[in-house]
Structure 1
Amino acid sequence: MKKILVIEDERLVRDNILDCLEDGGYEVVGVDNGQVGLDWASEHKPDLILCDVMLPELDGYEVLRSLRQEPTTALLPFVFLSAKVEKAEIRHGMNLGADDYITKPFTPDELLDTVAARLKRRDAIVQYAELLQASLFNSDRISLAPQPIINAPSTPAPAQYQDFNAFAQELAALQSAQFTGKLNVKSATDQSWDFYLHQGRLLYATGGMHLARRWQRHVSTYCPKFN
């Protein structure tokens, strides 16, 4: 059962959200304080976080900023809940790394649809990561070398990592820094993969032993009439 954290200081709104999510088959936890929500998320790693913007102690922006700065929580799906509908406010939240934005008031269907979409995307990322782990990391040492394309932040020199978790943390750090560019991964057996990111979001990955086959599969899938 997917676990969702709701950070909302208005009790009636929070209770309504919790009831709606429970009816939708989710395990839910509700808190009324930004700092408490941040601490709980850091410890328990929920599958998704719904967070109001205006909160006691830490507002929603600070909660999100803190989560994105930690590798273990940087990839947690995060959705803002707010009555603030100005474009600048929404853009600010998205620039901090929010995955979505639900404006109040909203219907139960809008809430459940957004939650389902975000969880589906997270599951797809996790599944993709597991496939990469199975196909790529057959050795105990890999080197990661971020290669900037445009507007990429400064990155540390290539380093050696011993397991897949280190690779995942590297991706999380690049997401937190809103990195734009190419991350090249080379295994000890000289297999090479390229991961293309835009503002921290993974767009595409290619590499391994059969580059031409992978390209051919994509062409045949998305451009079936292309000869």
Structure 2
Amino acid sequence: MNTTLTRPLASVRALSGLGIAADRHAGAHSPRQVLIAGDEAYQRFGLADGVLGESLRVAGRTDDWRAGELLQVGDEVLLWLTFACEPCGRLDRHRPGLSAVIGRHRGMLARVLRGGTMHPGDRVLPVGSALPADADLFSDDWRARVLAVARAVPPGRWIRYAQLAGMAGVAMTYCRAFPRVLAGLPAEVGERVRTAAQATSGQPWDGAGLFEAKVDVDVDVDPDAALAAAPPQRPGVEKR
């Protein structure tokens, strides 16, 4: 089954390591480059098109997708699922109480491992899985992700709170909770995360290697073999 476009686009471009071309969520060190929502969520909750704010919309469901899963979209694009998108209060503007009941039906976030062009009706195939060196980077628990990013900062380097928020995939408003979350780390690790006022000396870290994938993203995938070895396919991709 193929989906139909909510906005008529003949194609959309995914950029390796960045996200969707011209999308505000594109960023080299973001785990939220792409948000994928399923038709099932729209039907289950009776939502108008676009309410979930997805980058891509696929036929079927996404609540059973898991972190680390690799999805090939069409002939070119390879996506790396990171974690479930947390329901936020903005959803309640469209339907009161939606954020409290939608759960994992909200959608799944992903990074772009291999870029290319996606078209309406492209098949979405699970072709394997891989996790980063610290699996907590892809945890559904935002606190675990914050701690994982802090642990990844190399000795002698530091990052600002704003960078930590972006790399952990949380809103800037979460920064006020960082001191409490980071308090459980060894002092020498916690000191690698600094407020803007503290970030005046030493060498900053740009997040290089944080989301390095231990997979060969240049290998062509045989769709027939993938279908034979994988769970049921997720056909149809829709770009809003």
Which TM-score tier does this pair reach, normalised by the shorter chain?
A: under 0.3
* TM-score, normalisation: structure 1: 0.26
* Structure having the higher Rg: 1
* TM-score, normalisation: structure 2: 0.25
